Structure 1
Amino acid sequence: MSPTESQTRQPVPPARLAEASVWIARLHGDARGRELEDGLRRWLQEDPDNARAFELATEVWEEAANLRRFIALPRSERRPARMWFRPLLAAASCAIVLVIAGFLWLQYRGVITTDVGEQRQVVLDDGTRVFLNTDTRIEVNFEQQVRRVELRRGEAFFNVAKRKEWPFVVVVGDREVRALGTSFVVRKDAGRTAVTLVEGSVLVTPLPTAVNTVAPKIIEAPGAAAQLPSELASVPSEHGGTRVEGVKLAPGQRLTFSNDAPVELDTPSVERTTAWRRGQVILDDTPLQAAAAEMNRYNQTKLVVQDPEAGALLINGLFQAGDSTHFANAVAQAYGLTVIQRGNDIVISGKPVQ
């Protein structure tokens, strides 16, 4: 199957998503029976978009399971609850599916963002799942030859759907991360970009340009932490044009680019790298100044460390993302520091007692 066929189909029309949502709600209601199931089979066979819509709506239904638990409906004393609760629950659930499916439709084809302290999961048209961390912006552009997502800022976890003939590329700064059936994290801060491979394989290269006319030379990343000062550079080719050098990562490896610094390779804890997906921040011998900056990603109220000596303290532990007050109080209690709320800042001051 070529990438110009079903792999590059247009997104599911909203009307089909609405129809699929109604089918799912009816299947979870009291009216389910042989006739309903036969009708669903006929509808699925009418058009390939129907099957795609049903698959997407089913995923949204499953994602909405937690929301359905909190639907509160009034009970009538004159009728058994069973007679009306399930139809209303199905209708309410259908509404949830429609709202979420509509949200996915509006979002995943263009720009997707999260605010400070917000996290979000979206399912792209190809089945790829993207988890966005706090204050993140991505731009999705699926073309016939390539599935392309650009990370403009923040951090995202990509669980890429396997499409061998339709490459998946994440553009971040002046680099691109090419994957196939892979899970990886890309993070872009001011002056620093990091790519961490969780599962599968990725190739990280500079963005191709008009002069990059020669196939890239692939460098297998070494198993241990290292500096890679010459990798990922464009170098002249003996055959003319420019050859792009790229680094192929193994699971668990992280490639970090910083302004005016060598490319670094290390193997951080995957649990720590992906802790934000569980709403956690794991610190491992992290200087307090850097730890405060990490906590500040999740909160409009900012931690400020006044004393340089305190800022150099090494912090270890697991903290709730966004709970800056608890973090500041825990650090202050451990090292004899003072915490003061000053406007939108939580100021940590004093000389540490060790």
Structure 2
Amino acid sequence: MSPTESQNSKPVPDEVLAEASVWIAKLHGDSRGRAIDNGFRRWLLAHPDNARAFELATEVWEDAENLRRFVTFRPATQIERSSAWRPAFAALACAMVLVLVAVVWYQYAGVISTNVGEQRQLVLQDGTRVFLNTDTAIVVKYDEHARRVELRRGEALFNVAKQSDWPFIVTAGDRQVRALGTSFVVRRDAQRLAVTLVEGSVQVSPVPPAITQLMQTVVDAPVAVEQTPAKAENRNNGEFTMSAGQRLTFSAGAPAKLDTPAVEKTTAWRRGQVILDDTPLRTAAAEMNRYNESKLVVEDVEAGELLINGLFQAGDSTHFANAVAEAYGLTVSKRGNDIVLSGKPVQ
């Protein structure tokens, strides 16, 4: 085998694929110019892995573009149950997130955040991998007693490195999630907190006041902190032990809710997707708005109650609006940077 063949047989490093995805986003963006083109050429020639990564990324981009024309949206009256998602997931399982991705090592306490439309992958000092979704902020604070991470806003997936004598604890609002070696997602919105267990086992419980003070000692760039969901009362003093596949949700003014959604839907953002299943259009628009500075606005109250089913690309609000408008006879227009869906629905 020649040196070139041997080199091509090796897998492309994840961080190089991440860099390639960034260049694809830049090359297809509105701000593309001579500086971006020159920078891309320098990066492409810097290492043989870069060209291989860009070729793979381009194939995924083109496949995703083709698939979007056929599987991104179906009206609620046409959606099949159970197996409706499988073809899309099988085809898009390897698709990269079409927003900025970074791979970074962190070995100190501090605030780590993403902007709207950005995602980031972190490897913490113990080997734990953290995936941050759009508009997310966390604080990392490890000491000899525990590995602690605070989710101040947004959504994060934690693949925890197992160390039985060094517990891993995520706090969000007035709740904490305690795990050893496991994988789980925590999402913190203004009036809602949700913990989804992908695999393993975790315990969710109220945060002791001393721990709240500990995490507040971290000083960094200002970070907006959401309202804490109301504490849920239960017979176990607010403690819950979760099993794989379960989601525990705390909403302001409501008791805690335990359900078992399809994990591939709750983690779809890791693949750059938004999956909607009988979701009211107004709620669906709010979900799409998480990934884009340009906001979707649904003007008609009746239209806002339409049930939407489908698979969409995170950040592609224009395609989402056009698909919904075509299915229900609505009108799409621009109002400043916003995308407005107006008119009475035709069903």
Provide TM-score, normalisation by structure 2. 0.67
Counterpart among 231, 234, 247 of residue 231 in structure 1: 234
Partner of residue 62, structure 1: 13
TM-superposition CA deviations, 1:304-335 (whole Å, max 9, x none): 00111000000000000000000000000000
Residues 192 and 258 in structure 1, CA contact (< 8 A), matched pair in contact too? yes
Give the 4+ runs in structure 1 shifted more than 3 A: 67-75, 90-93, 105-109
Whole-angstrom distance in 2 between the partners of 1:322 and 1:276: 10
Shift of 1:90: 7.8
The residue aligned with 1:57 is none
Give yes or no for contact 1:337–1:350 (8 Å, CA) kept in 2.
Answer: yes
Contact 1:108 1:123 in 2 (8 A): no
| One-letter amino acid matched to 2:192 | R
Contact 2:118 2:134 in 1 (8 A): yes
Identify if the C-alpha distance between structure 1 residues 310 and 160 changes in structure 2 by more than 3 Å, giving closer, same or farther.
Answer: same
In 2, are the aligned partners of 1:185 and 1:196 still within 8 Å (CA)? yes
On the 8 A contact 1:109/1:124 being kept in 2, the answer is no
**Number of aligned residue pairs:** 253
Alignment correspondent of 2:250: 257
Looking at both structures, which has the greater relative contact order when contacts are Cα pairs under 8 Å and sequence separation is at least 6? 2
The percentage of counterpart residues that share the same residue type is 65
User: Secondary structure of the residue that 1:309 maps to in structure 2?
Assistant: helix
The CA deviation at 1:74 is 11
Separation in 2 of the partners of 1:189 and 1:105?
26
Q: 1:103 to 1:289 in 2, by over 3 A?
A: closer
* Residue of structure 2 in register with 1:188 after alignment: 188
1:320 paired residue number = 313
TM-superposed CA distance for 1:72, in Å, is 4.3
CA shift, 1:110, in A, is: 1.6
User: Following the alignment from structure 1 to structure 2, what is the Cα–Cα distance between the partners of residues 68 and 156?
Assistant: 21
**1:129-161 superposed Cα distances (whole Å, 9 cap, x missing partner):** 000000000000001100000000000000000
Alpha-carbon offset, residue 107 of structure 1: 7.7
Equivalent in the alignment of 1:172: 172
1:119 is aligned to 119
Query: 1:104 Cα deviation (Å)?
Result: 2.7
Q: Deviations over 1:221-266 (max 9, x none)?
A: xxxxxxx963287xxxxxxxxxx44100011100000111111111
Give the aligned partner of residue 47 of structure 2.
Answer: 89
Partner SS for 1:104: strand
1:345 maps to what in 2?
338
Distance change in 2, residues 1:262/1:68 (3 Å): closer
Q: Secondary structure at the match of 1:315?
A: strand
Q: How does 1:1-354 map to 2 (within 5 A)?
A: 62-66=13-17, 72=41, 89=47, 104-105=104-105, 109-209=109-209, 230-231=233-234, 244-354=237-347
> CA separation of 1:313/1:67 partners in 2, compared to 1, >3 Å: closer, same or farther?
closer
- Structure 1: unaligned runs, 5 residues or longer: 1-28, 31-60, 76-84, 94-101, 211-227, 234-243
Post-superposition offset of 1:63: 2.2
Q: How has the CA–CA distance of structure 1 residues 67 and 122 changed in structure 2, closer, same or farther, with 3 Å as cutoff? A: closer
1:109 Cα shift?
3.8
Distance 1:254 1:74 in 2: 42
Residues of 1 paired with 2:238 and 2:209: CA distance? Answer: 13
> Gaps spanning 5+ residues in structure 2: where?
5-11, 24-39, 52-101, 211-230
Contact map agreement 2:299 2:341 (CA 8 A) in 1: yes
Shift of 1:167: 0.3
Is residue 206–residue 232 contact of structure 1 (8 Å, CA) maintained in 2?
no
CA contact (8 A) 1:108 1:122 kept: no
Asked if the contact 1:205–1:232 (Cα under 8 Å) also holds between the matched residues in 2, the reply is no
Q: Deviations over 1:37-81 (max 9, x none)?
A: xxxxxxxxxxxxxxxxxxxxxxxx832232677874699xxxxxx
Q: Which has the larger radius of gyration?
A: 1
